[in-house]
Structure 1
Amino acid sequence: MKYPKTLHLSVLLAIAAILTTGSAFAADPDGQLQKSSSARPEALLKCDEEISQNYAQAELDTFFSSGYTYWDAAQLASYWGQDVDEAKARIGRKILWGPADVALLEQFLLDARLESLQSVGDLRFYSETSYTYDDAAALAEFWGDATPYDAKLRIERNLIMGNADEVDYALELANPKP
């Protein structure tokens, strides 16, 4: 089967829809099947939408409670051709699916990082930060880079590799508070 997990999710959603709206048919006292009023197509559709929304929220909640960061999601979003919120949900979904999918996720993240490192000069991720030119100048001096642009490139590489905290810490050290 090509997409077994998608199929399993569809089956689970269908079962949950039936369980939450009641059986499509209810037996009458004579043992004859009668159409249940709760099994209207609109009710099932509404239930499916609620289940889908709940599952989507569970995916996002799983992402936010994991060790993955915004920058990981941004890397994978770029790699997968999705927006960041879709990538966060996809990361959460892979975590929910179990260890084998997490291992695949880690490989995707590595591939995404390697691909992004090939175009570090674009400063694609740096442009999403709140770092200023003055921050880049301070970091250039702190790191011993020749120019603030060189520091921006180093920041970009750190963001790609998931090291945003290290950049923030270096910036704190470069700009000590009196």
Structure 2
Amino acid sequence: MNELEGLLKKTSDLYNSSLQSILPPMVVAALELSRTYHLEVHSKFALSSQEEIALFSGAQKMIETVASLARGQGMYAESSELYYNTGSILSALETAEEGGLTKRREGLCLEYVVFLAQHGSGSEFAKLKFGDDKKTLLGLVKTVAKKTDSSTAYSFGVNCGLEAESLIPILGEDDFCASV
């Protein structure tokens, strides 16, 4: 058993030292790739060919592989950005939390709440991450309204357990009536 432990430690040490020497330039290249990928994906309505699909798929896999390696080596900010640029908001959020990146975590939590609200959910996640204080939840409803629409914000607020009347000052009376 001692021989196995020794070989495992030796292999692990070699792996870590190799990664520490090659990972930083790999992360820099992957960040550049991920930023371009993010811009390209958001500029397209749909991918037009099999070649384009293969290219974007390959880029996403490469970026996420480097993100995983970077996360494993404690490069949390870089890893979180890499995940985010491929559209993996939850992985970006988990990485930010693991790395103690408070501001990034808060921003990603808000973005994830908006994403979930657009899909008819998010109230449980919002309460888990932000608490169930009425003032805080009303602030989240306001953020959802700014980033989506009044109907989505209204549904989100009601799902959070807020009374419809408390949403009027945030959504405005006209938007509120249209949402109900």
> Under a length normalisation based on structure 1, what TM-score does the superposition of the two structures give?
0.28
**Bigger RCO (CA 8 Å, 6+ sep):** 1
Which is helix-richer, 1 or 2?
2
Q: Larger C-alpha radius of gyration, 1 or 2?
A: 1
